[in-house]
Amino acid sequence: MTLDPREMVEVIESVESGLRIGMVGNYPDTDETRMLLTPEACGMLTSAGISLCMEHGAGVDVSFPDEKYAEYGVKIVTRDEALRAPLVLSYAPLRPKDIKKMQPGAGLLCMMGSGLFEHATIKALLDRKINTGCLDNMVSHNENEVFANIVDEIDGRAAIMYAQEALSYLGGGKGVLLASVAGLNPCEVLLIGMGTEMIAAAMAAVASGARVTLMDNDVSALQEVKRQCGHLVDAIAIHPRVLYNKVKSADVIITGLNTRDFEFPKNLSAAMKENVYVLDLNETHPSISVPRTVAMALSNAMVNFLSEMQLKDSFQGMIATTPGVQCGLVTYNGKLVDKLIGSYLSMPSVDISVMLSGAAN
């Protein structure tokens, strides 16, 4: 008669001592649509003993209903309940009103966003001693920015999708294809910048049949483009006369971050074609139009990341033993540890390695 109650107590203790995660959805007054986990990914985590709860309706932007998440072991709760979990997942940084609802000393995993450059947000995180990690600033064991690269690649490929739509008649353009057909020249795509998103855009434009030029102000970076893209992409150094000629003939112009500081000359706007499509990847994230793809791609990395966290008992354990995770920390144990944000907000920041070494001693 006494065996059953003892067995139930053991099960409860096992669940409570395991990794418990709350997921919240995007703020409805923003254009953010992306999410970190799909239902199938959640199933892999719950089957491994990780407890997951999710805000009601959080998966609507990625076209997954609550029932689909529940099918894979996710408990559907209110937003406030999800925020009370020891570790909270949110694609965009949380706002102060939500941070204040979190447990003191809890963890927050999100992507870097403008909200983290606001005094009120950082103050709320510090007051609650929230350990905040930006996934896109973290690096893997082999020094790859896995989460950032995933989103950048999707942004680059989706940028070409945007361009094709804008050139079409339905998109308000001239009604042309990027690709050529027999007897016609292909559209010209000019990419100015470097990085994963620009190379992904170049490859997507080539695959669509366009004529592609990528320009940057660092020759070694351009050599890497040739290594990855081969003869299909013209990799050219930024030179005033060459830039002018390329801008003049381009049907699509996409700009991003250059290896070295570069500002697109305003006077070149007069040289552009009348119906040219221009997109600045510094200001726009085309991946918000394909959030389900983003969630599926990020889920592959998140399952590995959270499984490793489970082996290390907690987010705290992950921070203490994983240098690549430390690279993405913004706040830790009531201190600001991101130098860039500290400089922007004129707030003092602390070196995370010093804090961790002091704790170890």
The tens-digit pLDDT sequence of the chain (361 residues) is: 444 554 443 333 333 447 999 999 999 999 999 999 999 999 999 999 999 999 999 999 999 999 999 999 999 999 999 999 999 999 999 999 999 999 999 999 999 999 999 999 999 999 999 999 999 999 998 889 999 999 999 999 999 999 999 999 888 888 899 988 888 889 999 999 999 999 999 999 999 999 999 999 999 999 999 999 889 999 999 999 999 999 999 999 999 999 988 888 888 888 999 889 999 999 999 999 999 999 999 999 999 999 999 999 999 999 999 999 999 999 999 999 999 999 999 999 999 988 887 665 5
Rounded CA separation 184/177 (Å): 11
Whole-structure pTM value: 0.90
With b for 16 or more beta-carbon neighbours within 10 A and e for fewer, the 152-162 pattern comes to: bbbbbbbbbeb
Rounded CA separation 108/133 (Å): 6
Domains and CATH numbers, the chain: 3-144+291-360 (3.40.50.720), 149-288 (3.40.50.720)
Rounded CA separation 83/89 (Å): 9
Q: What does the block give as tokens for 210?
A: 């366009």
